[in-house]
Each structure stands twice: as C-alpha cells, then as structure tokens.
Structure 1
Amino acid sequence: MASTKVPQTHTTAAFFLQSAIAFGVGLVTACVGIAYLPIDPWQRAFLAISLLFLTTSTFTLAKVVRDKQDEDTVRVRIDEARIDRLMAEHDPFSSVA
C-alpha cells in the first residue's frame, strides 16, 4: 500500500523576510516622524498611520515567528506521523457494501 504524504504549509523565507522588513520600515518611519516633525494635524495623521502600519507589521511578524516555532516542535512532528499512518492504513472501499 502506497503512503500518501500530507501537504504541509511552511512559512517561506520570502514571507519571513518581507515581514521583518515591514516591521523595520514601520519602526523607522514612526521614530523619524516622532523625532523630526512638528505637531500639526497633518503630521499627527502621519504619525497615526505610521503607528498603525507598525502595529499590523508587528502582528504579522509575531505570527511568522509563532508558525516557525510550531513547525519545529516535536508535538507537531508526532501528530503529522500519526496522520500519515492513519491515511496510509485507511481503505475507503472497505466499508462500501
């Protein structure tokens, strides 16, 4: 009986790099805005948008780091092995009468 491999979703290096770059760009933008711009309404809007971008990038980076850690844990590898074994042993035609 042939064993079927369960497709796994992995975080690509490009997505990880893009997330880290987005976090860095957001952080630098907020710091430059806070340090150099006088506080007028349009500059406050700039700071608000920069902080929003930084926050969303932080959540993305945190998700990427968490997913990478989950992929490397023993628990995940054991669960994948169990699923592979169950799928290899399953015969969909055995219960059909």
Structure 2
Amino acid sequence: MQTPQKDSTAWVIQTWAAFLISISITTFSVLNLPLDNWIKGFMGIGLAFSIGSSLTLAKTTRDLHESKKLTSRIDEAKVQKLLSQDDPLMLK
C-alpha cells in the first residue's frame, strides 16, 4: 500500500509566503491607484472573487485526484479478490 506523499515544510512555507505576498501587493496596488473609491471597490471585489475561485478550484482538483486514487485501490482489491478465488494454486 502506498503512503501518502507529504510536502516538505519548506514547500508549505514557500507556498503560503507566495500567496500572502501576492495578495498583499495586489491589495496595496489597488488601494493606491489614482481612481475613485467605487472603482477600487469593484477591483477589490474582483480580487476577492479570484482568490475564492482559485481556492475552490484547488480543492476540487485535489478531491478529484484523491477520489481517483481511492477508486483505483478499490478496483485493485476487487481484482485481487477475484484472482485469489479462481487461482487453483492459492492455498486457502
């Protein structure tokens, strides 16, 4: 049976740092644009929607990948059971 792949601490820190830095810089940039506040608000809502949909897409992709792994393990177990039932050389 396979053990789940675990990300290194450095990778987790790097991904969180990149996420926080990108959000911070984009928010700072939107706030300092020489535009009316309603336009900045509209851009802020767009930023928030982009962040939310990116997180949802990442979770959906992960869940789909994990369900395929589970399905393949179940299928493999079924095949092994069938093979063990029909194998005349297997000791029962």
Give the alignment's TM-score, normalised by structure 2: 0.45
**Higher relative contact order, chain-length normalized (CA < 8 Å, sep 6+):** 1
More helix by share: 2
Larger Cα-atom Rg: 2
